[in-house]
Structure 1
Amino acid sequence: MSLSKQQINELEQNLLKMKKQLEEQQELREKDESLQESTGEISSYDNHFGDMGSELYDREMAMALDENQEETLEDINEALQRIEEGTYGKCVDTGEEIPYERLKALPYAKRTVQAQEKADEEGKTDDYEIGEPSFVRKGEGKYEDSRMQSVDEIMETHGNASNKGEDA
């Protein structure tokens, strides 16, 4: 069953409210960051390594949150665009109707639950596929970290000082 105009209007208002909140949060964070930068210490000479580690962790956490909010904001803008185009509430992969209950919980959903699960399994997110992380290689049905090798594997690959010249 298609969404009614009243349901679409309600969901659009929710999307606009979410968008406004995210934009306000971004603005506050940007002001906070610029204030931190202007009052920050010039040198880290007298800082303890633990303090610098905590500061790095805090910055990485803030960056991850920023990235997540930017992605959510992008999803919200795409949902608002779909409302304008008249395609809101239809799965972008299958064309099936997205249930109102799902849209009420996640107004910027672009897929049905089943299509989203399939996209997640295939490693697809939106317009691109997730590639293999740089240090990871496929092993026998599992991922292995190529940085983690046993001594035997390293010697087999690179040799050692005592047998290095034997092959030459």
Structure 2
Amino acid sequence: MPLTNEQKKRLYHQLIDLKHSMSSTEGTDQPMGEESGELSNGVDNHQADHAGVYTERMRDQTFRQTDKNRLEEVEDALKRIEDGTYGICEATGKEIPYERLKALPYARKTAEAQAETEKRNEDAEGYDKQFTRQMKDLTNSETMDQKRSYTYERLDEEQDST
């Protein structure tokens, strides 16, 4: 069932609120002097102190990147509302249920299509890990021609599976 105008209006306002809340907090959590890349302020710290600062900095950087990605998703959803494609699954062309959009207003796919995409990505990651492991298993005595031949076989398998 297509989204009603009232539902679209609610989702639009939800996206706007998300955008404003994410935009207002963007960049406010970075301590002074962190841009320099220095781990200390000139005081001789123990290596464990440096590791703790580094870990915290990496965690914060990951959070900021996640927030940035989410903000881009929200902005993309607002563009889809403008061009009339909002609420339509990018993978199947089916309507995304209102309940899903209410929970995740920037959703691009139905839950089923998203699960299938994630499964394919996991399978591809597993296949890539297997390929990397097999390439490492090749001994140094093997020639580049043998390695190249193995790579071509893998590419042929990928083409056959698609």
Report the TM range for the smaller structure's normalisation: 0.7 to 0.9
Measure, in 1, the Cα distance between the counterparts of 2:125 and 2:115. 19
Measure, in 2, the Cα distance between the counterparts of 1:110 and 1:144. 34
Q: Secondary structure at the match of 1:138?
A: helix
* Shift of residue 121, structure 1, vs aligned partner: 1.3
In structure 2, which of residues 98, 101, 110 is the aligned counterpart of residue 100 of structure 1?
A: 98
Q: Secondary structure at the match of 1:123?
A: helix
Letter of the structure 2 residue corresponding to residue 3 of structure 1? L
Matched, 1:24 2:24: yes
Measure, in 2, the Cα distance between the counterparts of 1:34 and 1:11. 37
Measure, in 1, the Cα distance between the counterparts of 2:98 and 2:67. 24
Measure, in 1, the Cα distance between the counterparts of 2:11 and 2:50. 44
Per-residue CA deviation, residues 22-69 of structure 1 (Å, 9 max, x unaligned), is 11121312xx3335558x74436x110110000010011011101111
Matches within 5 A, 1:129-148: 137-138=129-130, 144=133
In structure 1, which of residues 83, 86, 90 is the aligned counterpart of residue 84 of structure 2?
A: 86
Give structure 2 stretches of 5+ with no counterpart: 142-162
Which residue number corresponds to residue 157 of structure 1? Answer: 139
Which residue number corresponds to residue 119 of structure 1? Answer: 117
Structure 1 residues 145, 69: CA separation in 2 closer, same or farther (over 3 Å shift)? Answer: farther
Structure with the higher fraction of residues in helix conformation: 2
Measure, in 2, the Cα distance between the counterparts of 1:100 and 1:60. 36
Matches within 5 A, 1:29-48: 29=29, 32-34=30-32, 36=34, 41-43=40-42, 46-48=44-46
Give the number of the structure whose alpha-carbon radius of gyration is greater.
Answer: 1
Decide whether the 8 Å contact of 1:137 with 1:146 is kept in 2: no
Letter of the structure 1 residue corresponding to residue 42 of structure 2? S
Structure with the higher fraction of residues in strand conformation: 1
Decide whether the 8 Å contact of 2:89 with 2:109 is kept in 1: yes
Which residue number corresponds to residue 49 of structure 1? Answer: 47
Give structure 1 stretches of 5+ with no counterpart: 125-130, 148-152, 160-168
Measure, in 2, the Cα distance between the counterparts of 1:102 and 1:42. 48
Decide whether the 8 Å contact of 2:11 with 2:102 is kept in 1: yes
Decide whether the 8 Å contact of 1:15 with 1:108 is kept in 2: yes
Structure 1 residues 84, 122: CA separation in 2 closer, same or farther (over 3 Å shift)? Answer: same
Per-residue CA deviation, residues 116-138 of structure 1 (Å, 9 max, x unaligned), is 011111229xxxxxx859xx741
Letter of the structure 1 residue corresponding to residue 83 of structure 2? E
Which residue number corresponds to residue 4 of structure 1? Answer: 4
Letter of the structure 2 residue corresponding to residue 138 of structure 1? Q
In structure 2, which of residues 32, 51, 61 is the aligned counterpart of residue 63 of structure 1?
A: 61
TM, length-normalised to structure 2: 0.73
Letter of the structure 1 residue corresponding to residue 84 of structure 2? G
Higher RCO, 1 vs 2 (CA within 8 Å, ≥6 residues apart): 2
